[in-house]
Amino acid sequence: MSDLLSLSAVEARAALDAGDVSAPELTEAYLGAIEETGPLNNYVAVTADKAMDMAKVSQDKISAGEAGLIEGLPVGVKDLFCTAGVASTACSRILDGFTPTYESTVTANLWREGGVMLGKINCDEFAMGSANETSAFGPAVNPWQAGDGVDLVPGGSSGGSASAVAARSALLATGTDTGGSIRQPAAFCGVVGMKPTYGRCSRWGIVAFASSLDQAGPFSRTVADNALMMQAMASHDPKDSTSADTPLPDLMAALDKGVKGMKIGVPSEYVMDGMDSEVVALWETGQAWLRDAGAELVEISLPHTKYALPAYYIIAPAEASSNLARYDGVRYGLRVEADSLDDMYGETRAAGFGDEVQRRIMIGTYVLSAGYYDAYYLKAQKVRRLIRQDFDTAWQQVDAILTPATPTAAFPVGRKVEDPVTNFLNDVFTVPANLAGLPGMAVPAGLNTEGLPLGLQILGRPFDEATLYSIGRVIEDAAGFDAVPARRAGGV
């Protein structure tokens, strides 16, 4: 019954409560969809038995009138989240065979609210990448294609999550975003992706990449579904010392608030060389939609924007080099035997980490090493403050900021890039929000002339996710984005 796959999460919840469909039926439909879309390589492990068991429990809770927020809804989990009894590898060889004995706080929250776990989803190794091509499991593929039929990347690092939601092999999915890893793939795959405020979702039990930047968030096909999942996954968690004890407002209530009287900033520094002209045009269209809905558009300046990426590529590798020191061949994961302890470390890490991860650990080690700390790391942290101050100044003028989500649409898998810096530019519009700790949402807003999705990004004040959902809903309604990718389950 493939039309089960076209229900939104909100519609599916209503259908489950009304008894029009059972939780096991819905889960079975998604397990079938995973099989059907197998060539997209979105899942690194399918937990079919666990999914069916969880769906039966959900059905009992629904029948007893005790349904949670996402009761009975099938969820895909980025392989960066530790899941008890289910292998969790961060899509790296170095975590080969690692099966956590504990559950991440975010996934525990989702299961408590009734989510059904479909399996673990492909991503870039340790979330380092913007195309899902650094995964030890090979690239995930975007269900969208241009006319030439070439395989396109889904973006990254949460590429499999965005692709699976777009391909209808997950109704909802978790992601993490350190420099754009939720918003960029959401834009490439035509789905909604939210990176909440730093501290909104617990980082406990998520494989760490750059701890001062990492945040978990939801993927969905509609803005309302995204608000529903966000409500289920956020919490204050004493096990994460950076977790915020700030109550989450009713996000569902924010959906229909509109933007009348709202001031929305348009940063002049976000017009960049090499930007796709269709992206610029869509951005202007987005501004017109919000103006028509009663918002006031205000030109603002975020003068340090161009320095966000280089600052990020000091801070993130520095934190990563420190976080990834734990992979030592002693406590978990891969071990390559050698005669000395040092060689065992060195051989294990050489064999276990892929090229991109090794490169970033090396950069991070260098910028933290004696004699370079001040010139690189401290300098980057000072620039980070200036970026944060740019936004603080903007919030005195505006309630939210509208930008493009990415400089281009999705590009082909295996695109040859000589200079690693070229790949970093994917994140030019998304990285500032991570450095400043702000919430950011990507919303699909249209197709380019090749028929590929493009997204807009909305940035907000710390802990003001509600406003992003209000604006996101207006953009969604105005865009009327109802295009579907060719390679989706139930599509043929």
Partner 1 sequence: MSVDKSTVARIARLARINVPEDRQDQLANELNGILDWIAELNEVDTDHVEPLASVTGHSLPRRADQVTDGNRVDEVLANVPETAGGFFVVPKVVE
| Residues in region 290-309 near partner 1 by CB under 8 A | 304, 306-307
| Strand-pair partners of 298 | 265
Closer to partner 1 by Cβ: residue 301 or 358 = 358
Closer to partner 1 by Cβ: residue 134 or 161 = 134
Binding letters toward partner 1, positions 245-284, x by CB under 8 A: x---------------------------------------
Out of 333, 432, 444, 490, name the contact with partner 1 by CB under 8 A. 333
Out of 38, 138, 238, 294, name the contact with partner 1 by CB under 8 A. 238
Tokens of 16: 């489950």
Work out how close the CB of 446 gets to partner 1 at its nearest, in angstroms, rounded to a whole number: 32
Closer to partner 1 by Cβ: residue 256 or 392 = 392
Containing H/E element for 29?
Answer: helix 23-36
CA 159, 215, 192, 411 torsion-angle sign: negative
Phi-psi region of 41 (alpha: psi -120 to 50; beta: other; left: phi over 0): left
272, 425 in Cβ contact below 8 A?
no
Closer to partner 1 by Cβ: residue 263 or 388 = 388
Q: Does 388 bind partner 1 (CB under 8 A)?
A: yes
Work out how close the CB of 317 gets to partner 1 at its nearest, in angstroms, rounded to a whole number: 9
Q: Looking at 231-328, which runs of residues are DSSP E strands?
A: 263-267, 296-300
Q: Does 331 bind partner 1 (CB under 8 A)?
A: yes
Q: Does 358 bind partner 1 (CB under 8 A)?
A: yes
Work out how close the CB of 149 gets to partner 1 at its nearest, in angstroms, rounded to a whole number: 33
Query: Hey, which residues between 435 and 454 contact partner 1 (CB under 8 A)?
Result: 435-437
Residue 62, burial from CB neighbour count under 10 angstroms (0-12, 13-18, 19+): buried
State the Cα–Cα distance between residues 128 and 424, nearest whole angstrom: 10
State the Cα–Cα distance between residues 463 and 118, nearest whole angstrom: 30
Assess whether 181 carries a catalytic annotation. Answer: yes
Q: What is the DSSP letter of 374?
A: I
Tokens 């391909």 map to which residue?
A: 167
Q: β-pairing, 192-195 with 453-460? A: unpaired
Provide φ and ψ at 298, rounded to 5°: -125, 125
Q: Does 98 bind partner 1 (CB under 8 A)?
A: yes
The span of 94-102, 116-124, 173-181, 393-401 binding partner 1 (CB under 8 A) equals 94-102
Out of 349, 461, 487, 488, name the contact with partner 1 by CB under 8 A. 349
Assess whether 169 carries a catalytic annotation. Answer: no
Q: Does 93 bind partner 1 (CB under 8 A)?
A: no
Helical packing angle, 308-323 and 379-394, nearest 10°: 120
Q: Does 373 bind partner 1 (CB under 8 A)?
A: no
State the Cα–Cα distance between residues 373 and 368, nearest whole angstrom: 5
Candidates 88, 158, 161, 181; catalytic one: 181
Assess whether 195 carries a catalytic annotation. Answer: no
Number of residues interacting with partner 1: please give it, by CB under 8 A: 73
CA 15, 20, 23, 28 torsion-angle sign: negative
Residues with active-site annotation: 78, 157, 181
